[in-house]
Structure 1
């Protein structure tokens, strides 16, 4: 399950800041940040799922939008042949296309960022609800925003909140925290750098992304881990 930390500014003079760690089957092919969808989503860059063709994270500099998709437990009884891939959700969001009230996908948390605002749409396969994030630093995983019942949020959110991003390398204090979280075993409920399996399918942390989205600033960077599920000092390009 992926993790997102996000800072929403008090006013429009500052950008939204975001750090995201992606967890996925390390055997599933993917591509680093790039303009992989010139025909269907011109101007959008993202981290591409090479198998299904969608995106985990997608961003649109001209529109000043960014979206990240996190898996969420699906409460529906729909069969696999009754749902579509979640990969188009982040792409469409970055392109300004609405999610809709009843997506034909498995459950997800969709983080959507504009130049000054952020919101999270939670879809559990039965109902959809959207939370506008107030100014401050928030954390999202596989349940609700800032959910105190999610161990990694309960353990680490206060530390991220105490390390407000600032300066040219604003992400460094947050990355220092992520590095310390890697002292936990990868299957610890409070771990952010994860190394575990669900129903026999591995789910390992693969990379970290950071992004600034504002009127005067738009910057998205990615850094894969050398070994899946193992913290690597991030060389953010």
Structure 2
């Protein structure tokens, strides 16, 4: 399920199985430049099988997806195609401060959170998770 709140009304939609990119505009909205650029790339690599392993165990099947995040992080944070972003909205600066990997199956959800603040790069933040 995916929910969007516009400040007044909450709308909920069921997501079909598969790979989705979620943004303020909703799931898989190709009018968002970063979704248009990266959604096909994520869909073109093999999906991870299971949760992201502990850091000492490497990246496991998540390597192709984490490689795409590392590639995206080479873009400037104000580039419309960047996944890791810094945006000025109504005079407020919003930064991407974390990454999450989420593996969802019929009977389980596995979530790993990586803090980006204090890390000189996304690659280092992922490595020290």
Aligned residue pairs total 119
Task: Give the Cα separation in 1 of the matches to 2:27 and 2:106.
Answer: 25
Q: Is the Cα contact below 8 Å between 1:211 and 1:219 reproduced in 2?
A: yes
Deviation at 1:133, TM superposition (A): 0.9
Q: Does 2:13 match 1:120?
A: no
> Structure 2 length normalisation: TM-score?
0.75
2:96 corresponding residue in structure 1? 205
Alignment of 1:225-236 (within 5 A): 225-227=116-118, 230-233=121-124, 234-235=126-127
- In structure 2, the gaps of 5 or more residues are 51-59
Q: Give the one of 28, 44, 47 matched to 1:162.
A: 44
SS of 1:171 mapped into structure 2: helix
More helix by share: 2
Q: Give the one of 67, 87, 90 matched to 1:176.
A: 67
2:55 corresponding residue in structure 1? none
1:141 corresponding residue in structure 2? 23
Alignment of 1:66-81 (within 5 A): none
Q: Is the Cα contact below 8 Å between 1:205 and 1:230 reproduced in 2?
A: no
Task: Give the Cα separation in 2 of the matches to 1:159 and 1:205.
Answer: 21
Task: Give the Cα separation in 2 of the matches to 1:146 and 1:215.
Answer: 22
Deviation at 1:147, TM superposition (A): 0.6
Ranges of 4+ aligned residues in structure 1 off by more than 4 Å: 215-218
> Structure 1 length normalisation: TM-score?
0.44
- In structure 1, the gaps of 5 or more residues are 1-118
User: Whose RCO is larger (CA < 8 A, sep 6+)?
Assistant: 1
More strand by share: 1
Q: Does 2:79 match 1:188?
A: yes
Please give the root-mean-square deviation of Cα atoms over the aligned residues, in Å. 2.5
SS of 2:42 mapped into structure 1: helix
